[in-house]
Chain A
Amino acid sequence: MNPARASLARQQRELALALSGRGDPPAGFDRARVAAASQSLARKRERLVEKQLPRLVECLGPRFHRLFSEYRRETVLASGAASLEDARMFCRWLAGHCELREDAKRELLRIRCRWSMQLLIAAVRRACFACRLSFTKIGGE
């Protein structure tokens, strides 16, 4: 990486941390405006996760906002991750971090079972596709 890219990369890393509420912006930035942008992004992320997990959010009630803020500060979302990935990570974090009421626990379990099932189905599908492909190749030769 050339020096200009490296310096830009450093500034972007620091800015990304500040925008996710985990640090100060790099020197020279308008702190109040970066904080406002950070708040705005937080609201957006929270809203998107809420859409992915409406029943869980309902079970958590007013605790959701506080828990999500805590989760946001403690975890790092991979670059380019979609809201579904954010929701998955939030569920994983939630399962390991706090005491939940029975209904929230049940809902969390249901969601995680559904996701595991989806992963399993996708894996089986891929395996079937690979099998078919290798048979076609053998047949063709």
Chain B
Amino acid sequence: MRRRGMRRVRRRMISPPAQLGLGIGWRPQLALAIERCPSIDFVEIVAENFNCRAEVPDALRQLQDRGIPIIPHGISLNLGGADRVDARAVERLARLAELLKAPLVSEHICYVRAGEIENVLAAKKLLPVPLALENIARLFDWPAGELSEAEFLSTALEETDTLLLLDIANIWANAHNLRADGLEMVRALPLRRLAYVHVAGGAEHDGIYHDTHASPVPAGVLELLEELCSVTHPPGIMLERDDQFPSERELHSELNAIAGAASRGNVRRQEITRTRSPTP
């Protein structure tokens, strides 16, 4: 049978990485602990801290030799700004991705209605690998915002065909600070585009939770991570720690807690799938 003409034109979605595993944000203060930790499958680096042109920095070469994927994470491309995107900054990120043979790169996406779609598309054109965008923490809402955070993210990621870097600690913080349901927010996100997950700890000041990346991951964030894993399988999950660096033992127990929450969620998801489709 001739199928020509019956074929429907469908836009193909960019596919998330197959499997990244358990990761951590690489920081100079954590370098030794990371080097000695066998359970780390991938690392993420702050792209702005590596100004390299031709050679992989020594600190990262060892990780590369171990076959650990390195993901450059930009923090200042300003994709959500009203200004046009800075092509030079994007090109720097692109060079770094090529040099490190990164599977993807990531950046933040602010929550400011439309406008950034053009910036994301412009940035994507200059990048040699897929781009994942991260939801941010916010203490206040943009007044008269037309879209909810999840609606905004879904629209932005669909229209630009980019991946999702889900910061579960930010979702938990936003839910806590803006009195919303974290799980509901997670479920409304475009999870089929999920590339990896950020997990971090923060602290409460005057009734407001701040995602400082300077404290152990709170139980609430781990619970939300478990819930996330009970509805989808994130290709990668990683810990972010930027200050008040813990001892190696504490760091390992943080990573274990994350892996534990993820595996509890996985088990629940598999149970749900089994009960829904019982084998005859």
**A residues lining the B interface (CB < 8 Å):** 1, 4-6, 8-9, 12, 27-30, 33-34, 36-37, 39-40, 44, 47, 79-80, 82
Please tell me if the beta carbons of A80 and B89 are within 8 angstroms of each other in the complex. yes
Residues of B within 8 A of A80 (CB): 76, 78, 86, 89
Partner of B82 from the list A9, A37, A40, A82 (CB cut-off 8 Å) is A9
Contact status of A8 and B82, CB under 8 A, knowing A47-B243, A80-B89, A82-B48: yes
Question: Once bound together, how far apart are the Cα atoms of A29 and B143, in whole Å?
Answer: 6
Question: Once bound together, how far apart are the Cα atoms of A4 and B48, in whole Å?
Answer: 30
Judge whether B115 is part of the interface by a CB distance below 8 angstroms: yes
B3 CB to closest chain A CB (Å) equals 44
Count of inter-chain pairs, beta carbons less than 8 A: 51
Partner of B208 from the list A4, A6, A36, A47 (CB cut-off 8 Å) is A36
Q: Which residues in window 44-61 of B have CB below 8 A to A?
A: 48-49
Contact status of A8 and B243, CB under 8 A, knowing A79-B78, A80-B76, A80-B89: no
Residue on A with the closest CB to B112?
Answer: A8
Interface residues of chain B: helix, strand, loop or mixed (majority):
loop
B121 CB to closest chain A CB (Å) equals 15
Residues of A within 8 A of B78 (CB): 79-80
**B residues lining the A interface (CB < 8 Å):** 48-49, 76, 78, 81-83, 86, 89, 112-115, 138-144, 205-206, 208, 210, 212, 243
Residues of B within 8 A of A12 (CB): 81-82, 112
4 tightest A-B contacts by CB? A28-B143, A9-B82, A33-B140, A80-B76
A119 CB to closest chain B CB (Å) equals 14
Residues of B within 8 A of A37 (CB): 138-140
Interface residues of chain A: helix, strand, loop or mixed (majority):
helix
* Most A-side CB within 10 Å, residue of B49, B112, B140: B140
Residue on B with the closest CB to A51?
Answer: B243
Please tell me if the beta carbons of B81 and A40 are within 8 angstroms of each other in the complex. no
Residues of B within 8 A of A34 (CB): 139-140
Question: Once bound together, how far apart are the Cα atoms of A80 and B144, in whole Å?
Answer: 27
Contact status of A4 and B115, CB under 8 A, knowing A33-B139, A47-B243, A80-B86: yes
Question: Once bound together, how far apart are the Cα atoms of A4 and B78, in whole Å?
Answer: 18
Contact status of A5 and B140, CB under 8 A, knowing A36-B206, A82-B76: no
A23 CB to closest chain B CB (Å) equals 16
Residue on A with the closest CB to B81?
Answer: A12
Residues of A within 8 A of B48 (CB): 82
Please tell me if the beta carbons of A29 and B140 are within 8 angstroms of each other in the complex. yes
B29 CB to closest chain A CB (Å) equals 10
Contact status of A40 and B144, CB under 8 A, knowing A9-B83, A12-B112, A82-B48: no
Residues of A within 8 A of B114 (CB): 4
Please tell me if the beta carbons of B115 and A8 are within 8 angstroms of each other in the complex. yes
Please tell me if the beta carbons of A28 and B140 are within 8 angstroms of each other in the complex. no
B152 CB to closest chain A CB (Å) equals 14
Residues of B within 8 A of A8 (CB): 82, 112-113, 115
Question: Once bound together, how far apart are the Cα atoms of A79 and B86, in whole Å?
Answer: 11
